Amino acid sequence: MSLENGYVQVYTGNGKGKTTAALGLAFRAIGRGLKVCLIQFMKGGGPYGEHFAAEKMTQNMTVRCFGRDGWVKKGSPNPEDLAEADRAYRMAEASLESEDYDLVILDEMNGAVDFGLLSVEQALRLLDLKGEKVELVLTGRNACPEIIQRADLVTEMCEIKHYYQAGVDARVGIER
Segment 118-176, tens digit of pLDDT: 999 999 999 999 999 999 999 999 999 999 999 999 999 998 888 878 888 877 766 66
**Bigger pLDDT: 7 vs 163:** 7
* pLDDT tens digits for range 8-64: 999 999 998 999 999 999 989 998 999 999 999 987 776 777 777 777 766 788 889
Q: What is the pLDDT of residue 58?
A: 67
Q: Starting at the edge strand that comes first in sequence, how are the strands of the sheet with 61-65 ordered? A: 61-65, 36-40, 103-107, 135-139, 8-12, 153-156
Task: For residues 73 and 121, give the distance between their C-alpha atoms in angstroms, rounded to a whole number.
Answer: 21
Q: What is the CATH number of the domain that holds 118?
A: 3.40.50.300
* pLDDT tens digits for range 59-98: 788 889 999 888 888 988 899 999 999 999 999 999 999 9
Examine residue 167 and state whether it is found in any structural domain, yes or no. no
Examine residue 166 and state whether it is found in any structural domain, yes or no. no
Examine residue 87 and state whether it is found in any structural domain, yes or no. yes
Query: What's the domain range around 94?
Result: 9-161
Examine residue 115 and state whether it is found in any structural domain, yes or no. yes
Q: What is the pLDDT of residue 145?
A: 98
Q: Indicate the DSSP class of residue 163.
A: G
The predicted model scores a pTM of 0.90
Q: Residue 13: which region, alpha, beta or left (left: phi > 0; alpha: psi -120 to 50)?
A: left
Examine residue 29 and state whether it is found in any structural domain, yes or no. yes
Q: Count up the domains in the chain and report the number.
A: 1
